[in-house]
Each structure stands twice: as C-alpha cells, then as structure tokens.
Amino acid sequence: MTYRAIKGTKDILPAETARWQHVEQTVRSVFHRYNYREIRTPVFEQTSLFARSIGELTDIVGKEMYTFADRSGDSITLRPEGTASVMRSYIQNNLAQDQPLTKVYYIGPMFRQERPQAGRLRQFHQFGAEATGSPTPETDAEIIALAIDIYRALGITQWSLQINSVGDEECRPRYKELLRAELRKVADRLSPESQKRLEQNPMRVLDSKDENDRALTAGMPLINDHLNEACAAHFGRVKELLTSYGIPFTVNGRLVRGLDYYTKTAFEITSSELGSQDALAGGGRYDLLVQELGGKPTPSVGFAAGMERLMMILEKKGFAAPEPRPRLFLAAADAPARDWVLAKTMELRSRGVAAETDLLGRSLKSQMKEADRQGAAFVLVVGAAELAAGRGVLKNLSDHSSVEVALDDLHHSV
C-alpha cells in the first residue's frame, strides 16, 4: 500500500521552501519594524475555547473544526485560527502585566475541514498579529497598515482593502432587529442558508454569495448607517488615518466576516490575482473577547493572512527566491584522495563554508556534473598530484576562471 497526504493537506517540497523561507523572513522583518514580538502557542486547544471565541453559529465552529476526544476523553480541537489561542495565552500568562499594550505576531499552520479547492486547504498557514490593550483607532490603523506593508514588501501591488464597522454591543443589537424585520419580509424567497441565518445571525445574510439573496437585500439598511456616536467616531478616525497613511480603501457596508468576535472595525484584503478564494487577509477589532474568555475587559485588534494564497500570487509572478547552494564542491580524482576530501569538507563546514562532496563513490566526471547541477560557486579537484604538491586549481563555475590555491588555505580562497 502506498500512502498519500490527507485530502486538503500539502507537502511543501524542497523546491518550494526557499520561497516560503523568503516570505517568512520578510513577514518577520516587517513585524519587527512595527515592534511586534513573536508568540508560539500550541496547535491544539480545548474545543470550547474556539467555540466560545469564534462563535457557535459560525461555519468554522459548526462544520469545519477538527475536533476529537483524546485518550482521556477531553474534547480537543486543532486550531482553526490564531486569535483565540493568543488571547487564551495572554490571559493565562498575564502578558498585560509589563505593558499596557501587547503587540504579538505568529506564523504557523491552522486547520479547517473545508471543501478543498485552489487556495483553500484543510491544513493551511497563516501569519497574523494581535495588538491587545488599546481601544484607539490609531491601533486599528496600525494593524491595517502593517498588513498592507507586508504585501508591499513582497512586491504585491494588486490588492484591495475593504473596511467596515460592525458596531458594538450597544448599537449592533438595535441594528440587527431592524435588519431582521426587513429580512423577514423576503424570508420565503431567500436561499435556505440565508433563511437559517436570518434569526440567529442576520448580518451574515448581507454577506451571502447567492445572487438572488444579493438582489433581495440590495436596498436593506447597512450597519455603518446605524452606528452609535462612539462607533461612528471611531470608524471616521480609522478612515482618516488610512487616508493620511496613503492606503486606499473602500467601505463595504456588507462586510461582516465569518467569525463572531468582531466589534467596530472589520476589514478584508483581497487580490484580483486570485480565483474565487480571493481573500488574502482579514481582521478587525474584538473588544469583548478577552472578557468573554475570563480576562479583564481588554480592547484588541488584529489580522491574519493566508500564506498559500500569497504563495500562489508570487508563483504566478515568477518570483524565485535564492536557493541555498554549495560555495565549494570538493571532487576526489582517485580513491586515496577521498578521505582527504571528506575531512576537508568537514573542516570547511566547521569554518562556516557551505562545502559539499560526493557521498556515492561516483566517477570524477559525474562528480563534476553534480557540482554543476547543484550550482556550486567553485569546484576543486583533488587527487594524488594535488595532495603531493599541497596545491590545487580552484575553478569558478560561473565565469569559468581558474586560480591555483594552497590546499591548507582553502577557506580563505572561497
């Protein structure tokens, strides 16, 4: 029997990892520029953490979580996103104690049992950031600017930013009632999915992808016309800041996002270079979550972005990250030289040189071919004559020049 990776999961093969590493490095450097520090939380948590944070009625919690009972019978879930875990850790480790505003980032795998398609996997990777402890719109704007800066740093220019305010615990219930009343008038003509959502989560109906739902709800009231003063002022300031930072955006009053913890700002970054799964990143403010999880009231804002979708764009653009290559390939011309070559290779490596040699007992001709195939910068052939003279000819494989070097002093020559 042969094994295959589980549906919706993917190997990231050696030919692709240079690109992944390049992206991860760029992402980290932008996070550091904004003074965010890395946090690493476990990939599994107690199921109720996610149910409580993301919301029982969401698709993620309702249909997509990898949930199982472990051997002691506890219900465990592979994390479908990072925010809930980070907030759990924030509370548990009292990260607030040293500073009023905690800025952290993460990069890692997430798990959702969705229907796999291009850009949608069951194990996918996200990078994301959370700023915890600040209620100010300046923090929302920083989070959005940070996400955009990462795409800019990677040379991705085809993105669009949509923002909305989903209100707070004071104005949202009022608006939901208003919307529900409107929706009830067309309820029998809505899609079955939207009919289900109408009572419990009416704002998701406005976000429906169904054409008919869209037509039916076209003129319905939107949350951002029904914000209370505080939410409206907050939203106004976020827009003002984004404009002053030179970040173009559109306001989409139908944007609600698929997670229930948001208050005030919600945003999404999409790319026209992707297919139907065009969301590169999403995020927003979630002022009630820490409290909901048992911590002190702590206003927070964050975002997360999909790595695979970003990779799809970079691949399409033909972006190639530099691959690690040997600096020097040491080839043995005869059997007696092999031991010397092996020892020298080890010595060079210990001196910090990326040195490679043949481990398969190949002929000199195929060793030379191999050096070429691996893209080594230099090759040096060592046989009895070279060992006797203590000197050899160092060939530069890119400009085909050669220079005679002392074997003792090789590390200075490459």
Report the interface residues with ligand HAM, using CB under 6 A: 81-83, 112, 114, 119-121, 124, 126, 128, 130, 258-259, 279-284, 286, 302-306, 308-309
CA angle 329, 331, 333 (to 5 degrees): 165
Q: What is the largest CA-CA distance in the chain?
A: 96
Separation in Å, CA 286 to CA 66, 75, 149: 24, 25, 22
For residue 16, count other CB atoms closer than 10 A to its CB: 14
CB of 79 to ligand HAM, least distance (A): 10
Taking the least distance from each CB to ligand HAM, the nearer of 55 and 383 is: 55
CB of 102 to ligand HAM, least distance (A): 13
Positive or negative, the CA dihedral 133, 137, 143, 149 is negative
The encoded tokens of residue 42 equal 């476990």
Chain residue at closest Cβ approach to ligand HAM: 306
DSSP secondary structure string for all residues of 231-299: HHHHHHHHHHHHHHTT---EE-TT---S-TT--SEEEEEE-TTS-S--EEEEEEE-TTHHHHTTS----
Dist. CA 343–CA 308, nearest whole Å: 42
**Residue 104, H or E segment:** strand 102-111
Helices and strands (H, E) in the chain, number of each type: 16, 16
Lay out the sheet containing 44-46: strands in order across. 44-46, 75-78, 67-69
CB of 201 to ligand HAM, least distance (A): 16
CB of 280 to ligand HAM, least distance (A): 5
CB of 289 to ligand HAM, least distance (A): 9
CA dihedral 382, 384, 389, 392 (to 10 degrees): -10
CB of 11 to ligand HAM, least distance (A): 16
3-class secondary structure, 128: strand
Taking the least distance from each CB to ligand HAM, the nearer of 121 and 223 is: 121
CB of 125 to ligand HAM, least distance (A): 8
Taking the least distance from each CB to ligand HAM, the nearer of 53 and 367 is: 53
Taking the least distance from each CB to ligand HAM, the nearer of 175 and 267 is: 267
Dist. CA 288–CA 222, nearest whole Å: 22
Taking the least distance from each CB to ligand HAM, the nearer of 198 and 313 is: 313
Dist. CA 162–CA 271, nearest whole Å: 11
The encoded tokens of residue 139 equal 């923090």
Taking the least distance from each CB to ligand HAM, the nearer of 304 and 313 is: 304
CB of 307 to ligand HAM, least distance (A): 8
Size of the chain in residues:
414
The pairs formed by 11-16 with CB atoms below 8 angstroms and a separation of 24 or more are 16/311
CB of 301 to ligand HAM, least distance (A): 7
Taking the least distance from each CB to ligand HAM, the nearer of 81 and 356 is: 81
Side chain identity at 93, as an amino acid letter? N
Taking the least distance from each CB to ligand HAM, the nearer of 306 and 326 is: 306
Taking the least distance from each CB to ligand HAM, the nearer of 57 and 346 is: 57
Side chain identity at 152, as an amino acid letter? R
